[in-house]
C-alpha cells in the first residue's frame, strides 16, 4: 500500500508539474475502440473500458487542455505474469504535440516513480525503428506496405502469417501483420529487448499496424509509417503512444478492418464507435500515451509479476 501511495503521488506530481489536469472518465461505456485481440468485458448496458482513450479524446474535442488519469480498465481473458483482466492505465494527452513529446513523458514519468520508490532511475534510453529492428534480429527485410500474400512469402513459414482463405479482404493484411508482430516477438524481439541495458522505444510501425495513429514520414528512415511507439524496460512493454489520428473516414476504415478480423475469428460483434467517430473532427492536434501502472510498480519495486504488487493479491 505504501508503494502504491508513493507511486500515485509521483505520477500526479509529474503531470501537474507539466501543467496537466487530472480527469476521471466513466468505467462503463457504450463503445470502445476496436482493436485486434483486445476483448472487452461486457457489462449490463455497455462495455467496461479497455482504456479511457475515447472519453478522454471527447474531452479534448470539447476544449480540454492537457489531461491525464489513472484509470481502472478491463480486458477479458488476460492472465499471466504481466497480465490481469482488471488493471490500471496511466493515460495522458498533450495538445499541439506529437509522439516525440509523450515519449519524453514516458521517460520522465518512469524516472519519477523509480526515484519515489528509492530505486535508481532508468536514464539510458534508445530509439529504434520497427522495420530495421525486424531486419537486424531476423534478417527479414520488409518495406512495410506488403499485403498478406507478399508478407507470407517473405517471412518464415513457421510464423503462420497467412490469413484463412475465408477472411474478408479488408482484414487479411491486418491479420498478417498482427501475426507477424506476435511471431517476431516470441522468436526474436522479446529476447533482444530483455538484453538491452536501458529503456527502448520501438518507433515507426508499419501502416497496417497504425491503430489510432497518424501516418507520416518515418522518424528514423524513409517511407510512410505510423507515428506510433511502444516503450520497454528489461523486455517488459510499459507504454504505447500515438500522434493521434483525426480523420474520421480513415479511422472508420481501420475499425471496419478490425470488425472484419473479429468476424473472421467468429467473435461476437462490437458496436462501431459512432459517437467517437462523430466527434473526431473536433479533436485538436495532439499526442497521447498509455502506461501500465502495475507493470511500472512491478519494475520499480523489483517484483517479478504484477500479481506481486496487486492490492488484492495474486
pLDDT tens profile 150-184: 999 999 999 999 999 888 877 999 999 999 999 99
Per the listing, cell 484463412 goes with: 164
> pLDDT tens digit string along 46-89?
999 999 999 999 999 999 999 999 999 999 976 888 989 999 99
Task: Provide the 10 A C-beta neighbour count for residue 216.
Answer: 13
Instruction: Give yes or no for a contact between 172 and 260, defined as CB atoms under 8 angstroms apart.
Output: no
> pLDDT tens digit string along 116-162?
999 999 889 999 999 999 999 999 999 999 999 999 999 999 999 99
Bridge partners (DSSP) of residue 217 are 224
pLDDT value at position 169? 78
Instruction: Give yes or no for a contact between 132 and 193, defined as CB atoms under 8 angstroms apart.
Output: no
pLDDT value at position 111? 97
pLDDT value at position 166? 86
pLDDT value at position 76? 93
Q: How far apart are CA 185 and CA 308, in angstroms?
A: 25
Residue 188 has pLDDT above 90, yes or no: yes
Tell me how far CA of residue 170 lies from CA of 8, 32, 111, 257, 283, in angstroms: 42, 20, 41, 5, 26
pLDDT value at position 313? 59
Q: How far apart are CA 120 and CA 114, in angstroms?
A: 6
Q: Where are the alpha helices (H) located in the chain, listed in sequence order?
A: 2-17, 53-61, 99-116, 130-138, 148-154, 169-184, 190-195, 248-264, 274-279, 293-301
* Domains, the chain, with CATH or none: 2-309 (3.30.930.10)
- Please give the average per-residue pLDDT across 185-204, as a whole number: 96
Residues of the chain with pLDDT > 70, as a percent, come to: 98
Segment of 98-102, 215-219, 261-265, 308-312 carrying the highest mean pLDDT: 98-102
Residue 305 has pLDDT above 60, yes or no: yes
pLDDT value at position 222? 59
pLDDT value at position 311? 87
> pLDDT tens digit string along 225-259?
999 999 999 999 999 999 999 999 999 999 999 99
Question: For the chain, what's the residue count?
Answer: 314
Amino acid at each position: 500500500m505504501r508503494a502504491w501511495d508513493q507511486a500515485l503521488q509521483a505520477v500526479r506530481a509529474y503531470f501537474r508539474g507539466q501543467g496537466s489536469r487530472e480527469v476521471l472518465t466513466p468505467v462503463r461505456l457504450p463503445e470502445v475502440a476496436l482493436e485486434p485481440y483486445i476483448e472487452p468485458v461486457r457489462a449490463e448496458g455497455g462495455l467496461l473500458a479497455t482504456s479511457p482513450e475515447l472519453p478522454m479524446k471527447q474531452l479534448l474535442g470539447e476544449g480540454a487542455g492537457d489531461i491525464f488519469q489513472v484509470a481502472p480498465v478491463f480486458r477479458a481473458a488476460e492472465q499471466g505474469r504481466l497480465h490481469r483482466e482488471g488493471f490500471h492505465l496511466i493515460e495522458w494527452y498533450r495538445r499541439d504535440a506529437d509522439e516525440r513529446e509523450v515519449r519524453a513523458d514516458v521517460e520522465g514519468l518512469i524516472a519519477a516513480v523509480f526515484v519515489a520508490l528509492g530505486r535508481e532511475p532508468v536514464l539510458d534510453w534508445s530509439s529504434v525503428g520497427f522495420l530495421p529492428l525486424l531486419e537486424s534480429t531476423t534478417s527479414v527485410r520488409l518495406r512495410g506496405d506488403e499485403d498478406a500474400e507478399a508478407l507470407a512469402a517473405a517471412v518464415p513459414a513457421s510464423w503462420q502469417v497467412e490469413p484463412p482463405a475465408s477472411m474478408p479482404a479488408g482484414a487479411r493484411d491486418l491479420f498478417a501483420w498482427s501475426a507477424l508482430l506476435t511471431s517476431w516477438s516470441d522468436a526474436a524481439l522479446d529476447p533482444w529487448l530483455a538484453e538491452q541495458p536501458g529503456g527502448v522505444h520501438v518507433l515507426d510501425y508499419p501502416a497496417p499496424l497504425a491503430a489510432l495513429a497518424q501516418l507520416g514520414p518515418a522518424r528514423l528512415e524513409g517511407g510512410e509509417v505510423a507515428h506510433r511507439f511502444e516503450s520497454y524496460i528489461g523486455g517488459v512493454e510499459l507504454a504505447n503512444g500515438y500522434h493521434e489520428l483525426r480523420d474520421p473516414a480513415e479511422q472508420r476504415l481501420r475499425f471496419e478492418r478490425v470488425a472484419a478480423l473479429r468476424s473472421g475469428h467468429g467473435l461476437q460483434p462490437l458496436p462501431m464507435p459512432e459517437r467517437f467517430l462523430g466527434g473526431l473532427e473536433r479533436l485538436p492536434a495532439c499526442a497521447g500515451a498509455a502506461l501500465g501502472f502495475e507493470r511500472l510498480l512491478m519494475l520499480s519495486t523489483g517484483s517479478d509479476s504484477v500479481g506481486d504488487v496487486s492490492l488484492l493479491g495474486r
